[in-house]
Amino acid sequence: MENLLQVEGIKTDFITTGKRVEAVVNASFDLKRGEIIGIVGESGSGKSVTMLSVLKLINPPGRVVGGDVRLAGIEENILSFDSKGEKMRNVRGGRIGMIFQEPMTSLNPVLTVGYQIAETILTHKKCSKAEAKQKAIEMMKAVRIPDAERRYNAYPQEFSGGMRQRIMIAIALAADPDVLIADEATTALDVTIQAQLLEMLKELAQTRGVAVIIVTHNMGIVARYADRIYVMYSGSVVETAETDVIFGCPEHPYTRGLLAAIPRLNDAKDRVLVPIDGLLPDASNRAPYCAFYERCLYRKNSCAKMPIPKLTGIGTNHFVACHLTVAERAARQAELLEREQRKTPKKQIREETCIEVRNLTKRFAVRAGLLQKTVGYVHALEKVSFAIRRGETLGVVGESGCGKSTLARLIMRVYAPDEGEILFHGRDIAHEKERNLKDVRREVAMVFQDPYSSLDPRQTAESIVGEALKIHHLCPDKEAYGKRVSELFRLVELDPELRKRVPHEFSGGQRQRLGIARALAASPTLIIFDEPISALDVSVQAQIINLLEKLQAQLGVSYMFIAHDLAVVRHISDRILVMYLGQAVEIASCEKLYEMPLHPYTQALLSSVPTADPVLERTRQPLKLGGEIPSVLKRPKGCPFSDRCPKAMECCHILSPELVDMGEGHMVACHLYGGK
């Protein structure tokens, strides 16, 4: 079949502080009608810049310095078009649509969503405003936005994150493009919404013949949806093949490293993730040899004496950029496998309870009018109960808005609960006054999602890590303080020599290590992790997960681990709490929950998570979960999940079920199991 899009040798540079940064060195790929390809790699590998280069969206000080882009039906190289000319406008949006990562910054907040969709249609189609409006409403219906006629005049801020991303898809599809580029389009979305949108893209490819490019760092997504995969590293494609080949028989050492670093839903519980050591090379000072050489476990001395390897065919549609032969890589892999396989360090979980939460409830008043009268309440948390033992990890999962972060803040006593108890080592701290909580503040620590915004940019790493030591007077003198700070740096595998640096001088993974060191400073018994790895690359995630497991085994600290990546939660947790709309719907041991989920919401949540195994993906039957999590202001009567549940009964819309024990501590709140 003839290629719909053919991209050859894209080269893109940026000039920063007088240096030329080669963001994309040599990127090539092709795409056929109705095909879905995945482009994967770490942050900084050049994925997004390549897509922007194809559409001539690189602005000064960046520039596309080379390459050839051919689109079926156009004889000329698209890169020769004026970026602001009519020819390029016809391609951009007309023939090639793009969905960006953050829909709120991509949509104009002062224009209605209907107008923004219709504007694209009027730009690329010959039609009247009335026809454009009708087509825009049809597009809104096509991407499953309910009540499209009324919501045509709504503004972006009136939609949820998932709905805003649907609007972006509608805009990208409005002019009936041949190619759709989804650049990390589902990264910020919950797994159920992510699954809905990706299924929609798959359906478009099958029914309309739209070719789709999925740019992502999530290997599970490409395993489920992509026909072929391109692996990028440091501005170049290092391997490409059909999806089954990439996952079943990867050849490039970098591809093997990526796959070894990711947790999977079907992993052995004690499997240790294998991160790729080191960082991407400096793009302003490239070596004349293979860019992956410094991080490669397969390298030979001769690799540094040879030029940058080019893509070479080793099988049907399988190309690899590596100087080593297939036999040499196989021999080296066998050698690596012969080494002693590390297991997750064993930890001691004691029967002693670290913290117990009983019927915890938090409501926020909604005020309106000139006098700011209370007109209602946001039911953020409703009668949540659980316990965490000493040395245990409790994973907390659920969609955005389910109350995970509110729960963490209540335990930290950032908020005071309206009802319920928080028993910390047997002492109820739920309604204690602030002045009596200093000892609790020492015992409970928190690690936040964004490792950069949670660190003071003006403080040195030493003062950030050592702040708790001063607040709680844990060191008698400067010498003891210096020793403890150095000890904390080594504990999180950072060089104490870096203590005088400020946060922007550290990488993302190093900054998160600083956050962990800060949390450990006062020797807490409980650490709450609120999405601690969601902002990190796959390989850095593996490093942090391994570190957390090692620290827990070494220190016996308890963890409460909040995350939306269920594969990560499965890997690190002993028990899991599933939340929905402020309520606990299921609690079970990790093995029980993943092998035999009982609540329909848990079942839908797990089936929505793509695993990095295309063969396994073909045997799975994802449960289709309609709609999005409702507003906490409009909580459904009865079971909070009743409006979306495929198994809802009449009683589900009337009575809210309570947690019942199904045996071995497996608790579920569902009328299917007698929850009254």
Which residue from 603, 617, 519 is spatially nearest to 202, judged by alpha carbons? 617
Alpha carbons 504 and 642: distance in angstroms, whole number: 47
Residue 67 lies in a domain: no
Point out the least confidently predicted range of 175-189, 432-446, 567-581: 175-189
301/399 same-domain check: no
Point out the least confidently predicted range of 161-170, 248-257, 564-573: 161-170
Alpha carbons 24 and 45: distance in angstroms, whole number: 8
Average pLDDT over residues 616-624: 80
309/369 same-domain check: no
Average pLDDT over residues 625-653: 81
Residue 45 lies in a domain: no
Alpha carbons 669 and 667: distance in angstroms, whole number: 7
Alpha carbons 174 and 189: distance in angstroms, whole number: 22
pLDDT at residue 675, rounded to an integer: 54
Point out the least confidently predicted range of 14-23, 79-88, 218-227, 347-356: 14-23
Helices 538-555 and 508-520, packing angle to 10 deg: 20
For the question of whether the overall pTM of this predicted structure is more than 0.75, the answer is yes
Helix, strand, coil percentages, rounded to 5, for the chain: 35, 25, 40
**Residue 600 falls in which region: left (phi positive, over 0), alpha (psi -120 to 50) or beta:** alpha
| Residue 327 pLDDT > 90 | yes
pLDDT at residue 380, rounded to an integer: 87
CATH assignment at residue 538: 3.40.50.300
pLDDT at residue 267, rounded to an integer: 78
pLDDT at residue 377, rounded to an integer: 79
Cβ neighbours for 553, distance < 8 A, ≥ 6 positions apart? 345, 346, 347
pLDDT at residue 164, rounded to an integer: 85
* 237 compared with 637, residue with greater pLDDT: 237
The rounded mean pLDDT for the chain is 89
Q: How confident is the model at residue 634 (pLDDT cuts 50, 70, 90)?
A: confident
Average pLDDT over residues 43-66: 92
363/512 same-domain check: yes
Average pLDDT over residues 631-656: 86
pLDDT at residue 89, rounded to an integer: 87
Question: Cα–Cα distances in Å, from 664 out to 316, 575, 591?
Answer: 51, 12, 12
Residue 305: burial class (beta carbons within 10 Å; 0-12, 13-18, 19+): exposed
CB count within 10 Å of CB 372 equals 9
Task: Please tell me the total count of domains within the chain.
Answer: 2
Average pLDDT over residues 122-148: 89
- Look at residue 407 and give its three-state secondary structure: helix
388/278 same-domain check: no
Point out the least confidently predicted range of 31-35, 215-219, 525-529: 215-219
Average pLDDT over residues 472-480: 92
- Look at residue 138 and give its three-state secondary structure: helix
505/375 same-domain check: yes
Question: Cα–Cα distances in Å, from 471 out to 410, 466, 522?
Answer: 22, 9, 9
3-state SS of 503-572? HHHCCHHHHHHHHHHHHHCCCCCEEEEECCCCCCCHHHHHHHHHHHHHHHHHHCCEEEEECCCHHHHHHH
- Look at residue 44 and give its three-state secondary structure: coil
Of 310, 338, 366, the position where a domain reaches its end is 338
Q: How confident is the model at residue 676 (pLDDT cuts 50, 70, 90)?
A: low
> Token digits for 96?
């090639």
pLDDT at residue 95, rounded to an integer: 93
Residue 585 lies in a domain: yes
Residue 130 lies in a domain: no
374/460 same-domain check: yes
Alpha carbons 586 and 576: distance in angstroms, whole number: 8
410/554 same-domain check: yes
330/360 same-domain check: no
| Percent with pLDDT over 90 in the chain | 57
pLDDT tens-digit readout, 337-350: 876 566 777 888 89
359/298 same-domain check: no
Element (H, E) at 379: strand 373-389
pLDDT at residue 178, rounded to an integer: 92
Point out the least confidently predicted range of 90-104, 121-135, 479-493, 576-590: 90-104
Residue 189 lies in a domain: no
Residue 95 lies in a domain: no
437/586 same-domain check: yes
Alpha carbons 447 and 525: distance in angstroms, whole number: 14
430/544 same-domain check: yes
Of 287, 315, 338, the position where a domain reaches its end is 338
Of 539, 571, 595, the position where a domain reaches its end is 595
Residue 265 lies in a domain: yes
DSSP string, 63-78: EEEEEEEEETT--S-G
Q: Which spans in 350-453 are helix H?
A: 404-411, 438-443
Q: Name residue, tokens 């950069």.
A: 452
Q: Which spans in 23-128 are helix H?
A: 47-54, 86-91, 103-106, 113-124
pLDDT tens-digit readout, 186-198: 776 778 778 888 8
pLDDT at residue 364, rounded to an integer: 87
pLDDT at residue 300, rounded to an integer: 93
pLDDT at residue 583, rounded to an integer: 93
Q: Name residue, tokens 């929905």.
A: 580
pLDDT at residue 188, rounded to an integer: 65
Residue 433 lies in a domain: yes
393/275 same-domain check: no
Q: Is the peptide bond before 61 cis (omega within 30 degrees of 0)?
A: yes
Residues of the domain holding 309: 253-338
> What one-character DSSP code corresponds to residue 665?
T
Q: How confident is the model at residue 547 (pLDDT cuts 50, 70, 90)?
A: very high
Alpha carbons 98 and 180: distance in angstroms, whole number: 6
Q: How confident is the model at residue 632 (pLDDT cuts 50, 70, 90)?
A: low
What is the dihedral sign for C-alpha 164, 169, 171, 172? positive
pLDDT tens-digit readout, 652-675: 999 999 999 999 899 999 999 875
